[in-house]
Structure 1
Amino acid sequence: MRFKLCCLFIGFICGYLMISWMPEVDPFRFTNFITEFIFNPLKSFLAMTSFFVGFLANAILIRSAVEEIVFYLSGHEVRLGELIVSYGVVANFYFLFQMNVILTGLFLIFSIVYGMMSIDLQRKRKFKNNL
């Protein structure tokens, strides 16, 4: 439970930092965007690092939420508190969408794709007494 709460907090903080450190180019032109990345290497590196760490943290929560719903529907025992914390990722993305729609959309897509790729439904069946 604490691990999921940490992932929830880290996912939001990294998403917020990524949005604040990304260069704003309005209207969007690819050449201006790349130029901003080149001339601000520290902010660019920090934004990419926070993007990577944040989408991994959110992907863990998405994977956990999907796995827990599947196990709940199949009749296995699931902790309700952990399920609620896993669905806290929806609140994370809601608040991030209020800040920047495009960057949060990319953040969400990467998190969902990686979370779905890492689902392992056989793992908990072997160790179902772990609950």
Structure 2
Amino acid sequence: MLKKILLLLFAFVCGYIAISLLPRANLDNLPYIVSDLIMNPVRFFIGMLAFIMTTSVLSTFVKSAYEQTLYWIMKKQQLTASVAIDYSSIFCYLLLMRKSILIAIFLLIFSLVMGVLSIERSKEVLEERGY
């Protein structure tokens, strides 16, 4: 459980770094974003690296929340504090939205997609193994 709390804190810090380093994204200032990429490639690279790490960590929370809720609905497992930590990742998105709404929405979309894709992949692996 402490590991999940530390992962959530890590995801928030990486998301904050990504939002701080990436340029403010609007459809009006697309040339500014491209010029910022050319002029500051290291800053952009670090921002994108933090964005990818945030997305991958938060996708594990999406996957875990889905699976544990499904087990609870099927009456195979009781809800634990781990589920509360998984659902508290929503507050991480809300806190990041205070800094930049558009980048936080991109984080939410990409982590949801990655989480759902990893759920489907884990189902395929379980079916292959005969579980």
TM (norm. structure 1) is 0.86
Are the equivalent residues in 1 in contact too, given 2:25–2:103 (CA < 8 A)? no
| Residue 61 in structure 1 maps to residue 61 in structure 2 | yes
Please show how residues 51-130 of structure 1 align to structure 2 within 5 Å.
51-119=51-119, 120-121=122-123, 123=126, 126=131
Q: Which one-letter code corresponds to 2:90 in the other structure?
A: V
Q: Secondary structure at the match of 1:23?
A: coil
| Residue 44 in structure 1 maps to residue 26 in structure 2 | no
Structure 1 segments of 4 or more deviating over 4 A? none
Q: Which one-letter code corresponds to 2:87 in the other structure?
A: Y
State the Cα distance separating 1:78 from its structure 2 match.
3.7
Structure 1 spans left out of the alignment, 5+ residues: 127-131
CA distance in 2, matches of 1:92, 1:83: 15
What are the Cα deviations for residues 19-40 of structure 1, in whole angstroms up to 9, with x where unaligned?
0001236773222211111101
CA distance in 2, matches of 1:26, 1:117: 28
Q: Secondary structure at the match of 1:77?
A: coil
**What does residue 11 of structure 2 align with?**
11
Are the equivalent residues in 1 in contact too, given 2:24–2:100 (CA < 8 A)? no
Q: Which one-letter code corresponds to 2:85 in the other structure?
A: V
CA RMSD of aligned residues (A): 2.0
State the Cα distance separating 1:74 from its structure 2 match.
0.4
CA distance in 2, matches of 1:45, 1:11: 17
State the Cα distance separating 1:43 from its structure 2 match.
0.8
Identity of aligned residues (%): 23
What are the Cα deviations for residues 52-91 of structure 1, in whole angstroms up to 9, with x where unaligned?
0000000000110010000000011245110011111011
**What does residue 129 of structure 1 align with?**
none
Q: Secondary structure at the match of 1:71?
A: helix
Q: Which one-letter code corresponds to 1:117 in the other structure?
A: L
Alignment length, in residue pairs? 125
